[in-house]
Structure 1
Amino acid sequence: MKGSYLFFWLTASLVFGLDRLTKIWAESTLTLGNSVVGLDGWYHWTLYHNPGAAGGLWSGHADWLALISILAGLAILWFIYRGPHDRNIWLLLGLGLMFGGALGNLYDRLFYQYVIDFIDPVGANYIYNLADKGIRWGLYLAVLGLWFSGKRLAKESQNVVS
């Protein structure tokens, strides 16, 4: 296995591990539905069992949401290993963040039939977890990595033509 693929796996493992640790902390210290001041003025900690996707969409369909998570994870793995992405650290970082986040939420869906959310931004109408942030920031970094790949491929094709 190439070192950069190891970077992908380490990133995914870090996101999954931190997500699990923070969810264990939330379940053991917070009471369902009650808010506790976290970072005053920024976040509260509010334990919420989300039976659906973002904001409770598709509640009651944990089996379908688990299947979607599995398919997303497989698509990431397929994409990583099918192409020459081993030199694109931004893409590998982004895909690692997304893969670890997908695994974190998949774990909850399989073992609890809901996702454990607890990060409650002050003034917002949503609650999330570290897996959700891994998926979100991973998407941004993966798009940046794809942009860099496009620039590199364009440069390489110019060199071939010249």
Structure 2
Amino acid sequence: MNYFIIIAVLVTVDQVFKYLAQTFLKPVGTLPIVKNVFHLTYGQNTGAAFSILQGKQAFLIIITSIVTIALVVYLIKNYKTQNHLLLISLTLFISGALGNLTDRVRLNYVVDFLDFTLVNYPIFNTADIFVVSGSIFLAYFVLFAKSVNSRKDI
């Protein structure tokens, strides 16, 4: 399986959804899908998760670039590993990071559009879903998969 093709596809999917949000959602602001539960709401985030580091675009671009390059190098070096969970987590994380990095460089903000109004959660986007999913898989790998693999060697 070519993880770099998956990265390209996921970044493209993210950018298409953000384009659609800018084109069709920005003029209306919000569109209830399930009233008072889930809305599509256009937002521009000049910060990181939960709007921390608001307005620090140069810093966020530099940090995201460094982390993404490091993860891509790690993915290339470990491409032939048998641990697909690790590779999938890196693929998802890299995809999300590149999706939001593309916005930061191109627009100087990140387009957000997914809004769970029921729990008053911050508006987010598909790239955020990729980063969070990749992080969860990576945490699982670090906490549990290594110990399972080490028991197989015994």
Segment drifting more, 54-63 vs 112-121 = 54-63
Q: Is the contact made by 2:61 and 2:105 (CA closer than 8 Å) also made in structure 1?
A: yes
Structure 1 counterpart SS, 2:87: helix
CA distance in 2, matches of 1:97, 1:17: 13
1:152 maps to: 149
In structure 2, the CA distance between the partners of 1:98 and 1:33, relative to structure 1 (3 Å rule), is: farther
TM score, norm. by length of structure 2: 0.87
Equivalent runs, 1:5-154 vs 2, <5 Å: 6=2, 8-31=3-26, 34-83=29-78, 86-123=81-118, 124-146=120-142, 147-154=144-151
Distance 1:57 1:108 in 2: 17
- Residue type matched to 1:73 in 2? T
Task: Determine the C-alpha separation between the residues in 2 that align with 1:83 and 1:153.
Answer: 18
SS where residue 99 of structure 2 aligns?
helix
Q: Secondary structure at the match of 2:81?
A: coil
Instruction: Say whether the 8 Å CA contact 1:97–1:138 is kept in structure 2.
Output: yes
For the aligned residues, what is the CA RMSD? 2.0
Supply the distance in 2 between the matched residues of 1:78 and 1:149 (Cα, whole angstroms): 21
| Cα drift, residue 57 of structure 1 | 1.3
Secondary structure of the residue aligned to 2:130 is: helix
Deviations 1:35-76 (A, max 9, x none): 211244531011111011112211111011011111121221
* Stretches of structure 2 lacking an aligned partner (at least 5 in a row): none
Percent of aligned pairs sharing the same letter: 25
Larger Rg: 1
Letter in 2 for 1:67: I
CA deviation after TM superposition for structure 1 residue 30, in Å = 1.1
- 1:89 and 1:39, CA in 2 relative to 1: closer, same or farther beyond 3 A? farther
* Alpha carbons 2:79, 2:87 under 8 Å: kept: no
Aligned residue-pair number: 152
CA distance in 1, matches of 2:67, 2:10: 16
